[in-house]
């Protein structure tokens, strides 16, 4: 299975690409420009290829990423909507996972969510109406996610209106050791997932940690 990451050159997208490649997926990082995607891939290869067997990530432009079996959207929120609208035909009937958050950094350095009428994930669904949308991976701390030789034990909350998208996204989450998928309800609940990311970032900044989500009360929690 090939997983492509639209706008995967940022810290979170690049870190997730590394984890997916380590898990054995054919992984592609995309960007508006091939040069930027190649730079992100070079960083990953320089750090991890000598240390992880068969580690490989490829680079391409976003239009080519949309041809992957599964597409993850990791672009800034405004770019996410414009990009998926442009690629709407390629994303038709394809599982698309949004990990986008719409946040603003305050004068004091903290973060607050930009809460609109709909979540970014729902806006992406509107821009690519035939895609099978899920939202996930919002609450994984990028720094810890990117340390590929260090276990990362977190829950990943997933929202979707499609059983297939929920199942496939859950399978991808489970392929990364110590991550656990949690069904968090319909896609409309994504607004709370996206907004809560700012709370975790503020906690992480205040306590100098990588705050994340862990749900208790479930079997094997």
Chain position carrying tokens 């891939």: 41
106 exposure class (CB count in 10 Å sphere: 0-12, 13-18, 19+):
exposed
Please report which helix (H) or strand (E) contains residue 199, including its range.
helix 190-207
CA distance linking residue 40 with residue 44, whole number of Å: 7
Q: Is 44 helix (H, G, I), strand (E, B) or coil?
A: helix
Q: Does domain 2-207 have CATH number 3.40.50.300?
A: no
Residue with tokens 């079996």: 69
The domain locations on the chain are 2-207
Q: What is the chain's pLDDT, residue by residue, as a tens digit (221 residues)?
A: 999 999 999 999 999 999 999 999 999 999 999 999 999 999 999 999 999 999 999 999 999 999 999 999 999 888 999 999 999 999 999 999 999 988 666 766 676 776 667 899 999 999 999 999 999 999 999 999 999 999 899 999 999 999 999 999 999 999 999 999 999 999 999 999 998 999 999 999 899 999 999 999 987 66
pTM of the complete model: 0.94
């Amino acid at each position: 299975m090939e997983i492509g990451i639209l706008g995967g050159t940022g810290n979170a997208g690049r870190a997730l690409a590394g984890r997916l490649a380590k898990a054995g997926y054919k992984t592609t990082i995309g960007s508006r420009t091939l040069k930027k995607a190649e730079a992100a891939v070079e960083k990953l290869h320089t750090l991890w290829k000598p240390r992880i067997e068969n580690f490989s990530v490829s680079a391409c432009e976003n239009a080519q990423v949309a041809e992957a079996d599964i597409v993850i959207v990791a672009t800034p929120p405004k770019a996410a909507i414009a990009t998926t609208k442009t690629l709407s035909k390629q994303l038709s009937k394809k599982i698309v996972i949004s990990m986008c958050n719409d946040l603003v950094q305050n004068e004091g350095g903290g973060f607050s969510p930009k809460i609109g009428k709909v979540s970014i994930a729902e806006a992406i669904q509107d821009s690519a109406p035939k895609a099978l949308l899920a939202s996930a991976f919002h609450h994984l701390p990028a720094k810890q996610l990117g340390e590929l030789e260090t276990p990362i034990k977190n829950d990943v909350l997933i929202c979707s209106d499609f059983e297939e998208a929920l199942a496939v996204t859950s399978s991808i989450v489970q392929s990364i050791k110590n991550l656990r998928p949690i069904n968090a309800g319909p896609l409309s609940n994504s607004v709370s997932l996206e907004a809560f990311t700012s709370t975790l970032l503020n906690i992480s900044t205040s306590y100098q940690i990588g705050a994340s989500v862990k749900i208790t009360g479930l079997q094997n929690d």
